[in-house]
Structure formats: structure tokens, C-alpha cells
């Protein structure tokens, strides 16, 4: 009896499995993802563009000795405020002292010789005038006196030079300011013209910034800019453009200098800065294509957007389109990116969900057509 029940149960299991295996499973339809789109238009918005720079003193001078020697004193230290004439460094002056002493001694002997030569010339002239000396004697006495005078003049210049060289062993501040850098150490041997210290003047602070070639033509001297200091977060400083470079400082950048309108002693040369320029539209021909920043994707093949090609019943097929982008700006509500190449006016781009799309996919349109960004 038990064997019959076991055989019956096994047969029922086979029937159930067979029925289940033969049942048709429903095939899931591909999901049609809804996307937001926008019509590509031209725009003439003013652009706000920020670039990194470095604060520097309005006047910065690298000071050096005019003579060579060993650094004996170095009272200057980084950050020290100095007045005009303050001693910054001094060389060992013993050799130059000796040269001054030797030049002075030589001049003393030459002056004595000149006095004797002048006296002899005067004596011979008196004799010659009284016909008691010959013309050759008079000419010789006069020549000796002139030679002695020339020797004195030469030794006077030698003494002046030796004194100057002695004075040059002292390096002093030409103007008031602060020490930005100290380039040497005590007992170091330095050469003529070798930088010893860098002196920053107390004039208005500047910011040096490099701008790409595509925007340099929009920068004008006198243009107002806003500067931020990384060391002073949340604070903004008014400034204006003072210099616009005409030659590239790098492969594709040009140097620009801006100057703060007021001095802030908290800002030190070398601090990092952010400078915001307002790049205005330059007429009708400067209209650009601006799209929402979220519409631009990027992968290993570069930056791209998805175009929507409408089909029917509010649906479209998306096509990947490579683009070349320019500046990032804002219209006050969202970030916008300038598209330099790859888009044409009137085309429809996907503005949301770009990361989850692939080329050729069918989507459902939720269009937010923007007719103008002017």
C-alpha cells in the first residue's frame, strides 16, 4: 500500500513539473525612459569667468651686492618691515678697507710729489724769465709738474672707487617695505649681482593671473574684477585690470595683472587668489550656444550631448553627439556651458538623465523648450 502511494506521488510531481515547464512566460517590454529636452538657441549673455592667480607686491625688487665677498652680517628676515636705509646685509669688508688705505697712502705720496714738482716748476720759470735757465729746463720742469698733477688726479679716482667698493659691502633698503625672501646665509660667498633679499614695497597689492587665448581679447585695461583670497574665505576685494599681456607666457595663456583698489595688510605676496572677470558680449556676431551644464556628459571618448530625434506619439530616439565646450557661466538659476562645436540652433538636446542613456535608445519626451537666453 505504501509503495502505491509513493509511486502515485512521484507521478504527480512529474506532471506538475511538465505543466510548469510548458507554460509560456510573459516577455517584458523595454522601458521607455522619460527625458527632459530643450531646443538649442543662441544667447548673448554676459559671462562670469574665474581664474586662479597669485598675490604679489605692487613693486618687488631683488636686491644684490655690487661687489663680491663673504656675507658677514644678515639682519634681514622674512616678513620684517624695513625703512629706507635699513641695513639688510653686510659683506666682510677687510679687503676693501685695505684697498682704501692703500689708495689713500698712494694719493698722499702723489700730493707730496706734486707739491715738489709745482715748486720746482715755479723756480725754473722764474729763472727762465730772467734768462738764467734754458728753454729745455723750463719745458722739463713744466712737464714734471703736469705729470704729477695727472698722477694725483688718477689716484683720487682710485680712492673714490675703493671707497665706493667699501660702501657697496653694505646692502641697504632703497625704499620702505617688507622682506619677502632671503636668498643667502651668513658666511656664504656671493657674487656681484647675486640676489640677496627680495623687498616688497608697501604699494597696492597686485594679482598675477594667466588667461587662455580664447578670452584674452575680451579683457581690457581698467576693467573691474572681483578678487578672492584663499586665506580669507568669504571675503571679496574690488580690483581692476592694469596690464594685459600681448605675448603668450605659456603655450596658450597670456599674463594679466590686476590691482586691488584698497590695501589689506592681511594679504601677503605668494597667497593664492581667484579672480572673476565679466566677459561681456561683443555684439550680434558674438551670440553663442549655451546649454545646461547637466546636459553635457563626459567619458573616455570625450564630452558629448544626446540629441532627441522625435518619432511619434511624444517619443524620440536619442543620438550621441560629440561636442567641444567653452566657458562655464550662469543665468542666475542654473549653470550653463558654452558649446563651441557640435550643436546647431534648433536642434533638441536631452537636459536630464544623460548618464543613463545610450545611443539609439527610444525615450519619451517631456520638453522644456527654451526659446531664448538673451
Q: What is the CATH number of the domain that holds 254?
A: 2.40.30.170
Domain contains 110: yes
**Same domain? 333 vs 262:** no
Residues 84 and 130 in one domain: no
C-beta separation of 184 from 32 below 8 A: no
- Residue 63 grid coordinates: 636686491
Asked whether residue 240 is assigned to any structural domain, the reply reads yes
Tell me, what CATH number does 347's domain have? 2.40.420.20
| CATH, residue 176 | 2.40.50.100
Looking at the fold, whether 341 and 222 belong to one and the same domain comes out as no
Quick check: is 315 in a domain? Answer: yes
Of 280, 313, 339, the position where a domain reaches its end is: 280
Question: Mean pLDDT for each 10-residue chunk of the chain (374 residues)?
Answer: 45 42 52 82 69 84 92 92 91 94 94 92 89 89 92 93 93 87 94 92 81 83 90 89 82 87 84 86 60 88 90 85 84 77 89 81 67 41
Instruction: Encode pLDDT of 312-322 as tens digits.
Output: 777 889 999 99
Residue position matching grid coordinates 605676496 = 269
Question: Are residues 304 and 351 part of one domain?
Answer: yes
Sheet holding 60-64, edge to edge: 60-64, 195-201, 177-182, 81-82
Q: What global pTM score does this model have? A: 0.47
Which domain range does residue 78 map to? 69-92+169-200
Domain finish residue from 178, 200, 222? 200
Domain limit, last residue, from 147, 178, 200:
200
Residue at 150 is within a domain? yes
In a shared domain, residues 117 and 150: yes
Query: Looking at the 3D structure of the chain, how many domains does it have?
Result: 4
- What distance in Å separates the CA atoms of residue 247 and residue 262, rounded to the nearest whole number? 29
Least Cα distance to 76 among 66, 67, 58, 64 occurs for: 64
| Whether residue 350 is found in the same domain as residue 336 | yes
Amino acid at each position: 500500500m505504501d509503495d502505491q502511494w509513493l509511486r502515485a506521488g512521484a507521478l504527480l510531481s512529474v506532471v506538475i513539473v511538465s505543466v510548469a515547464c510548458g507554460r509560456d512566460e510573459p516577455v517584458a517590454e523595454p522601458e521607455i525612459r522619460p527625458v527632459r529636452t530643450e531646443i538649442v538657441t543662441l544667447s548673448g549673455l554676459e559671462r562670469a569667468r574665474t581664474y586662479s592667480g597669485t598675490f604679489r607686491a605692487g613693486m618687488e625688487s631683488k636686491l644684490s651686492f655690487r661687489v663680491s665677498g663673504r656675507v658677514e652680517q644678515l639682519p634681514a628676515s622674512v616678513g620684517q618691515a624695513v625703512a629706507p636705509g635699513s641695513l639688510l646685509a653686510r659683506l666682510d669688508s677687510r679687503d676693501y678697507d685695505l684697498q682704501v688705505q692703500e689708495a689713500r697712502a698712494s694719493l698722499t705720496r702723489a700730493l707730496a710729489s706734486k707739491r715738489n714738482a709745482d715748486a720746482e716748476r715755479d723756480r725754473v720759470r722764474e729763472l727762465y724769465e730772467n734768462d738764467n735757465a734754458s728753454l729745455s729746463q723750463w719745458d722739463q720742469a713744466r712737464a714734471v709738474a703736469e705729470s704729477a698733477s695727472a698722477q694725483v688726479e688718477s689716484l683720487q679716482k682710485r680712492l673714490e672707487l675703493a671707497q665706493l667698493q667699501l660702501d657697496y659691502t653694505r646692502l641697504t633698503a632703497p625704499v620702505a617695505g617688507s622682506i619677502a625672501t632671503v636668498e643667502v646665509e651668513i658666511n656664504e660667498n656671493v657674487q656681484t649681482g647675486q640676489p640677496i633679499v627680495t623687498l616688497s614695497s608697501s604699494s597696492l597689492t597686485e594679482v598675477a593671473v594667466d588667461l587662455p587665448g580664447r578670452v584674452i581679447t575680451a579683457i581690457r585695461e581698467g576693467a573691474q574684477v572681483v578678487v578672492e583670497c584663499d586665506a580669507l574665505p568669504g571675503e571679496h576685494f574690488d580690483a581692476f585690470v592694469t596690464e594685459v599681456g600681448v605675448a603668450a607666457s605659456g603655450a596658450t595663456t597670456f599674463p594679466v595683472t590686476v590691482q586691488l583698489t584698497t590695501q589689506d595688510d592681511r594679504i601677503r605676496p605668494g597667497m593664492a587668489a581667484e579672480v572673476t572677470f565679466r566677459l561681456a558680449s561683443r555684439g550680434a556676431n558674438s551670440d553663442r550656444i549655451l546649454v545646461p551644464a547637466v546636459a553635457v556628459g563626459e567619458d573616455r571618448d570625450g564630452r558629448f550631448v544626446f540629441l532627441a530625434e522625435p518619432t511619434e506619439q511624444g517619443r524620440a530616439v536619442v543620438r550621441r553627439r560629440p561636442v567641444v565646450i567653452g566657458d562655464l557661466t550662469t543665468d542666475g538659476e542654473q549653470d550653463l556651458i558654452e558649446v563651441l562645436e557640435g550643436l546647431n540652433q534648433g536642434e533638441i538636446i536631452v537636459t536630464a538623465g544623460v548618464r543613463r542613456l545610450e545611443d539609439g535608445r527610444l525615450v519619451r519626451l517631456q520638453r522644456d523648450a527654451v526659446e531664448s537666453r538673451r
